[in-house]
Amino acid sequence: MSPGEFSFLGAAKRQQDAAALADAPPTTTTAADESDQYKWMKAVVGPGLPGEGTPYYVHSDTFVSSWEEPDEPYWIFNADLEAPDPNFGLQYPAKKDAPKDPLEGYTGYNPKIHGNYDPKADYAAYHNKKREEESGFVAPVALPPGYGAEMILNARTGHAQANRPGAEHHNDAAKSGRQLNAFFDADAAAEAHQGRSLKEERQKQHLSKQQVAEFKRKKADRKRKKELDFYRS
């Protein structure tokens, strides 16, 4: 065979291979490829173990387990085969719910809207209900006549205390509390605004130029009035 004939046969062979590749069907992803791509498997807690029958998810490579459904597709684990169950295909996770607005349904106090807190306003009922739920409040039940019980709790510690003054009656918190209560309700003031500082919230607000100018004008008027009152006295 001459070199020319060999070159002609080689070119013809290459043309046949290219035509065969063009006519071949497109490659598809096989189960083996998917098994290599997705590693999560859904299993069930075995008998005799805590939480028997509870489903959980485990990663076949890292062996990390989770009670929550992964965000990617996963397989159903067959304990007898110790491998993904061939009767069940690739499982897809359920769609996650969109995160809810934390303020949705909130009808309580908002300092930017309501200003100073008013315990008689409609929004105060929202916080009163929340406090009752958090403290496990139960409506009082009518007791049989002739039966009654009473227990005094310390407002600071929540512990039971005797009716007569004891050692806790003379600590710093108790003495300062009695002094404050002589002028106002100290407990109500401490619980107002849900423990938030309105002064700090006002400091974070950005005033406009007109508001700053008005504040300076009023301050100058007060200073001028104070000076005039001094000269007139």
Q: Does residue 60 share a domain with residue 124?
A: no
Q: Does residue 71 share a domain with residue 116?
A: no
Position 124 confidence tier, pLDDT thresholds 50, 70, 90: confident
Q: Does residue 115 share a domain with residue 198?
A: yes
Residue 214 lies in a domain: no
Segment 106-124 mean pLDDT:
84
What number of CA atoms fall less than 13 Å from residue 41's CA on the CB side?
A: 22
Tell me how crowded residue 74 is: count the other CB atoms within 10 A of its CB. 22
39: containing domain: 31-84
Q: Does residue 121 share a domain with residue 44?
A: no
Residue 194 lies in a domain: yes
The total domain count for the chain is: 2
Tell me how crowded residue 40 is: count the other CB atoms within 10 A of its CB. 21
User: What pLDDT score was predicted for residue 215?
Assistant: 93
In this predicted structure, the answer to whether residue 8 has a pLDDT above a threshold of 50 is no
Residue 209 lies in a domain: no
Q: Does residue 115 share a domain with residue 197?
A: yes
Q: What percentage of the chain reaches a pLDDT higher than 90? A: 10
In this predicted structure, the answer to whether residue 23 has a pLDDT above a threshold of 90 is no
Residue 7 lies in a domain: no
Q: Does residue 200 share a domain with residue 121?
A: yes
- Alpha-carbon gap, residue 24 to 22, rounded angstroms: 6
pTM more than 0.85: no
Q: 57-61, 134-138, 154-158, 174-178 — which is least confidently predicted?
A: 134-138
Residue 184 lies in a domain: yes
Q: Does residue 122 share a domain with residue 157?
A: yes
Segment 168-173 mean pLDDT:
81
Token look-up 């009082």 returns 140
